[in-house]
Structure 1
Amino acid sequence: MKLIIPMAGSGKRMRPHTLTVPKPLIPIAGRPMVQHLVEDICAMSVHKIEEIGFIIGVNFGKEAEENLLNIAKNAGAKGKIFYQEQALGTAHAALCAGPMLEGKIIIAFSDTLFRGQVTIDENKDGIIWVQKVADPKAFGVVKLDENHFVTDFIEKPAQFVSDLAIIGIYYLKDGAVLKKEMQRLVDNDLKEKGEYQLTNALENMKQKGTRFTVAEVSEWLDCGNKEATLLTNKRMLETKPQANIPRSAEVKNAVLIQPCHIGENVKIINSVVGPYVSIGAGTALNNSVVSDSIIQAGSSLKNAIVSCSMMGNNAHYEGRTMNINIGDYSILKPEDGK
């Protein structure tokens, strides 16, 4: 089994955090969001994931590439890096991992985190992961027949046809067939809304005899913006077991309200932390109250009350009660005498 993860998008809605760190590597509950995805898919695959291909932007940088390869290694797989130089759609993105598109494959878009007990039936031609949504107009959806096979792929339907939204994870028994159909879209410049769409390739496969079924998840977690990312951090802390406070952490005259994630070498002095707080390695909190927030590595918070906030790496904040959203290497503190 091979896992292909398209993740070349720039993450504009998550700025300022994505100005210095690719969105899939932003930590959620102590681990990069793409690592959660890899771990969850490995857990539901009957057979071992042998290779993981990451499709990234050309400007991600060497450090990001090394981090991704280590995520694959820690999952017991061989990591491979592919590049998407232009944002030309989901089919174009997957096609960038052409050498991996053979045999049994899973394609999972990097910001697709989910909850649910799903096991992959590798005997199926194809499986589309879905969730029931209240308003399907904003999503691509599938329509099923009485035997639960997909009859139609519909992109953002104006009228109700189905409430089964496609969440961005796909299993194919024969990746070469998908590769052929995606290449056909590109070769013939068959675009929809200016892009080569993966669902169009799947539709062509269906018309030629491939039978798709669905796997329904209980919860679909989004990391599209700050508010959604904080909610996902909360749900991950609630549903995934958290490690004990590391021995390297220094906690003095402080209250920790679980669930929280506390990284290595964190200092928490005269503070209240939690619930739903993730603190990266080497961060220091002094005389502060923090809840529902993500504070990344090497940062500091002093004399502050913050909630529903995100701080990047090596960011420093001192001062009042606020809802903050500051990126890497930022410094916010009161002026002298105020």
Structure 2
Amino acid sequence: MAGMGKRMRPHTLTTAKPLIPVAGKPIVQRLVEDIVATGSEKVEEIAFIIGPSFGKEVEAQLLNTASKLGAKGRICYQETPLGTAHAILCAAESLKGNVFIAFADTLFDATFSIDTSRDAIIWTQKVDDPSAFGVVKLKDNGEIEAFVEKPQSFVSDLAIIGVYYFRDGENLRKELQRLIDNDIKMKGEYQITDAMEHMLQNGMKFYTDQVSEWLDCGNKDATLYTNERILELKRNKENLIDASARIENSSIIEPCYIGPNVRIVNSVVGPYASVEANTVIEKSIVSNSIIQCDSVVKNACIEKSMLGKSVSYTNKSDELSLGDFSTHI
């Protein structure tokens, strides 16, 4: 999760992308909670690979997330963005025994039942246009035969989503280090697919499993769709409306997330709105949007919008993307 999140600006100018809230929780928190909750294996340690500029407050938040899940947290730094293989190798001390890897800009609906006797498992999702993704080609027995990056002619419709299991973390570390030592790059970066291809050629057996739904948080529109789907998936599993929220002469069209100490007056909120703590909405209509904490929305009609922390927005109807501390009157 060490990337700069440039496609999510202005929101990532002040907040690391994996900490942007979706349905009331930061993306990375939802990711690790779902992995721990749906998997059958005990998670002993969670290593977060971040940029050095994220700051001590962010690091403390991540370590607390791991602690709440009964795991030891470890902070690892990727000083320079040199690709997925390089990023994972930044957590070299954690690459031992059974290792589960997830990229922190995607969420998914899945149950992780891991056959730990298998050398490796790569999670995939069927896609309509495989040419935009790395895909796996399968043998008749279900083993992975090849990894193909953005195939221009049809090879497979099973796209690699950035979720992996490796039985032997030490071997994975050795293979990633081999790329660095031999300067093996793809488009100027060290890629995990190159390491996996070498493992495959040397007899390691890879298998695939599929997620029910793959949700991207790469840009504003994708994140809003992910917020919508997570609200739908969690509507009967989580308490999405905090008891301290004050809802006065207003309608909430569920599913919505309404955070602590939110005040909603003479308004209609929902469906698919997430309103973070201490935000005030008055005489407004809000739907399909994420409004972060300590913001104020008055006399407005907004949809398909993202408002950052401490935003003040009044007297307009629009589709918005406003960063933290913005004011529009």
| 4+ aligned runs moved over 3 Å, structure 1 | none
Deviates more, 1:35-44 or 1:9-18: 35-44
Instruction: Quote the Cα distance in structure 2 between the aligned partners of 1:312 and 1:227.
Output: 15
Equivalent residue number for residue 244 of structure 2: 248
Equivalent residue number for residue 144 of structure 2: 150
Deviates more, 1:241-250 or 1:280-289: 241-250
Which of 296, 302, 315 matches 2:311? 315
Q: Which amino acid aligns with 2:29?
A: Q
1:1-338 matches, cutoff 5 A: 7-240=1-234, 241-243=237-239, 245-333=241-329
Residues 55, 82 of structure 1: 8 Å contact kept? yes
Instruction: Quote the Cα distance in structure 1 between the aligned partners of 2:78 and 2:242.
Output: 39
Following TM superposition, by how much is the alpha carbon of 1:244 offset from its aligned partner in structure 2, in angstroms?
Answer: 5.2
For each residue in 1:99-118, what CA deviation from the matched residue of structure 2 results, as whole angstroms up to 9, or x when unmatched?
01110000100012111333
Residues 275, 293 of structure 2: 8 Å contact kept? yes
For each residue in 1:5-50, what CA deviation from the matched residue of structure 2 results, as whole angstroms up to 9, or x when unmatched?
xx00000000000000000000000000111110111123222111
Unaligned 5+ residue runs, structure 2?
none
Equivalent residue number for residue 336 of structure 1: none
Q: Which amino acid aligns with 2:27?
A: M
SS across alignment from 2:115:
coil
Q: Which amino acid aligns with 2:59?
A: E
Residues 242, 260 of structure 1: 8 Å contact kept? no
Equivalent residue number for residue 4 of structure 1: none
SS across alignment from 2:100:
strand
Deviates more, 1:315-324 or 1:113-122: 113-122
Deviates more, 1:205-214 or 1:161-170: 205-214
Residues 38, 110 of structure 2: 8 Å contact kept? no
Instruction: Quote the Cα distance in structure 1 between the aligned partners of 2:2 and 2:110.
Output: 26
Residues 140, 153 of structure 1: 8 Å contact kept? yes
Residues 42, 49 of structure 1: 8 Å contact kept? yes
RMSD in angstroms over aligned alpha carbons?
Answer: 0.9
Residues 35, 112 of structure 2: 8 Å contact kept? no
Q: Which amino acid aligns with 2:81?
A: A
Instruction: Quote the Cα distance in structure 1 between the aligned partners of 2:304 and 2:89.
Output: 38
SS across alignment from 1:328:
coil
Instruction: Quote the Cα distance in structure 1 between the aligned partners of 2:31 and 2:179.
Output: 28
Residues 256, 272 of structure 2: 8 Å contact kept? yes
Instruction: Quote the Cα distance in structure 1 between the aligned partners of 2:129 and 2:246.
Output: 47
For each residue in 1:128-170, what CA deviation from the matched residue of structure 2 results, as whole angstroms up to 9, or x when unmatched?
0000111100100010101110110111111111111000000
May I ask how many residue pairs the two structures share in their alignment?
A: 327
TM-score by length of 1: 0.95
Unaligned 5+ residue runs, structure 1?
1-6, 334-338
SS across alignment from 1:235:
helix
Q: Which amino acid aligns with 1:48?
A: K
Following TM superposition, by how much is the alpha carbon of 1:301 offset from its aligned partner in structure 2, in angstroms?
Answer: 0.2
Q: Which amino acid aligns with 1:45?
A: G
Residues 133, 55 of structure 1: alpha-carbon distance in 2 compared, 3 angstrom cutoff? same
SS across alignment from 1:202:
helix
Instruction: Quote the Cα distance in structure 2 between the aligned partners of 1:155 and 1:70.
Output: 37
Instruction: Quote the Cα distance in structure 1 between the aligned partners of 2:54 and 2:242.
Output: 31
Residues 167, 220 of structure 1: 8 Å contact kept? yes
Q: Which amino acid aligns with 1:217?
A: V
Residues 44, 120 of structure 1: 8 Å contact kept? no
Instruction: Quote the Cα distance in structure 1 between the aligned partners of 2:11 and 2:109.
Output: 25
